[in-house]
Amino acid sequence: MTVTAMSATYKQRLRGWLSYAFASEAFVVVSLTLFLPICLEQFARDNGFLQPEKTESCSSLSGSVPANVDGRCAVKIGWLWIDTASFSLYVYSMSVAFQALTVISMGSIADRSSYRKPLLLTFAAIGAFSASLFLPLSSTSPLWMVSALFAILANVGFGASVVAMNAYLPSLAKDSPEVVQAYSEVTSSFENRDENPALTASIDLELERSLEEVSDPLLGHPIHPDTAQSTYTAALSRATSRISSLGIASGYGAGIILLLVALIPVTRLQGSTFSLRLAIGLSGIWWALFSIPAAIWLPNASNIDEPESGSIKADDDWTFSSEIAVAWRRLGVMLRWREIKRLRNTFRYLAAWFLLSDGFTTITSTAILFGKTTLHMQASSLVLIGAITPLSGIIGSLVSPILQRKFMWSNLHVLVLLVLMVSLIPAYGCLGFLPVFKGTARFGGLTTQGEMFGLAVYFGFAYGAFQSYARALYAELLPPGEEARWYGLFSITDKSSSFVGPLIVGLIADSTGNIRYAFFFLVFMVWAAVPVLLSVDVDKGRQDAKNYVS
């Protein structure tokens, strides 16, 4: 294949990958982090009763809650009464638990290049169809509880499809023109060994130094420009980060566009339950439509050979049930202490990501519910916040690499800085407990609706950049040929592990009657990840992954 043909094929595959990010991330921005928790809370509220008597319907209250009325609302699920604000958190916790089971089971199958694309499209169809079914489901229907099932299936479909999507990232980076060019320089260096034996010793020495010293300018280390191997590794790191950032920006851009579209019916219908269902349904339709280009352009296998794990059976010697069983057995092997020590830096990163992803996701959902139930923000205001956050995220994902290169920060330093920035949000919310002295007005502490807009800009900038760097850095710590399996673990510690935070926040809200107390828990959860993150040795982890044989 000529260089021109290879470049055209790469561009087509990249467009396919970005198109799926454009399709699926719109569901995350519009539904998963904004309208879905609000809609589920509204479904429960429309079928709930005011506390403490539980005799008056919550739907009898319209507009803002009067100062002399207890606005807390509870719904009966089976034999239990739960706060309507906690209902969506419990549903989300269930959805991510099922998501974890799914992504573990599919990991070995998705590592087969020929089955990666069918899995992606199958789960995309499940998620998009489930989200679309919110359109015909009314909150006054006796079947309103089915909304929880639709939400669970949509989240499982998204998480599983993204595992398959992320598994394309390492091969896409390797096939990018700049990496292919750097790879050709490496092979040329080895070819010159036979032609000029005098160079052999110096080439071996330089290759050894390249592995010990540097690889990626994004990590803030010096690079040996005369070493072909270090040039290749640096090009691969840059390509991975660049493609990951493009995916984040593409997905956030889609979310902003769809949010602006959804703002029209939500505003005109004054945030009614139907308008919320309409927004979620539109995200499902958007997801399905823009998955079509991905179905056309994404390959079943990379044009450049992808190494496969030696434990993967031949195509005529396996079944789906056997591969699912193998996936769970291999997970058990991966989590043995001996294997953890072999990839200690990869697992340290996963431990930090477990806390960070759970904390960041819970901050998002808690802030939305806090704005709705405590600050009594209208749905149109929450939509505007939902649009501001990803817009700021696009800016953050594009500006952060510029600042990083200017100040020569390492990847870990950037991640830690972003974590500390985000941790200030729940810490700021805790200030709302400070007493107000007589004759003075309360200032700060997330007690006004205006503060929510400012924090949306701040959070979006940090979170967009963090997602971009976190995914790219993890890609460098993966054993070749096992991308889907390890991205399954990444998904578990990302959104699939996020049942812990919402569950604890739900319990805090139920037991105290004030969701603001959850901010203390969120501060601790995010800060606990910082020392773990700082302990990751990226260079050593990259080399351990290359030498790993499961």
Q: What is the pLDDT of residue 368?
A: 78
Q: What is the pLDDT of residue 363?
A: 86
Q: Sort residue 444 into left (φ over 0), alpha (ψ -120 to 50) or beta.
A: left
Angle between helices 146-166 and 3-27 (to 10 degrees): 160
Is 125 a residue whose pLDDT tops 90?
yes
Q: Which two tokens stand for residue 359?
A: 């904390």
Closest CA to 24 of 118, 94, 110, 123: 123
Q: What is the pLDDT of residue 89?
A: 79
Q: Report the run of H or E that residue 75 belongs to, with start and end.
A: strand 73-77
Average pLDDT of the chain? 79
Identify the DSSP state of 217.
Answer: G
Quote the Cα angle for 218-394-99, to 5°: 90
3-state secondary structure 328-389: HHHHHHHCCHHHHHHCHHHHHHHHHHHHHHHHHHHHHHHHHHHHHHCCCCCHHHHHHHHHHH
User: Tens digits of per-residue pLDDT, 261-302?
Assistant: 888 888 888 778 899 999 999 999 999 999 999 999 988 654
Q: What is the pLDDT of residue 77?
A: 84
- Mean pLDDT to the nearest integer, 145-157: 94
Confidence band (pLDDT; 50, 70, 90) for 546?
Answer: confident
Identify whether the C-beta of residue 134 lies closer than 8 Å to the C-beta of residue 147. yes
Q: Which residues of 312-347 are buried (b: 16+ CB within 10 A; e: fewer)?
A: beeeeeeeeeebbebbeebbeebeeeeeeebbbbbb
Provide the residue count of the chain: 550
Identify the DSSP state of 490.
Answer: H
User: Tens digits of per-residue pLDDT, 470-520?
Assistant: 887 888 788 877 777 787 778 777 655 566 787 888 888 888 878 888 889
User: Tens digits of per-residue pLDDT, 35-56?
Assistant: 898 889 889 888 888 877 776 7
Query: Among residues of the chain, what percentage have pLDDT more than 90?
Result: 15
User: Tens digits of per-residue pLDDT, 313-351?
Assistant: 555 566 777 778 877 887 787 778 888 888 899 899 998
Is 193 a residue whose pLDDT tops 70?
no
Identify whether the C-beta of residue 85 lies closer than 8 Å to the C-beta of residue 373. yes
User: Tens digits of per-residue pLDDT, 346-383?
Assistant: 899 998 988 888 888 788 878 877 887 788 887 778 87
Q: What is the pLDDT of residue 146?
A: 93
Confidence band (pLDDT; 50, 70, 90) for 177?
Answer: confident
Q: What is the pLDDT of residue 459?
A: 92
Chain centroid to CA 542: 22
pTM for this prediction: 0.71
More confident of the two residues 515 and 123 = 123
Confidence band (pLDDT; 50, 70, 90) for 66?
Answer: very low
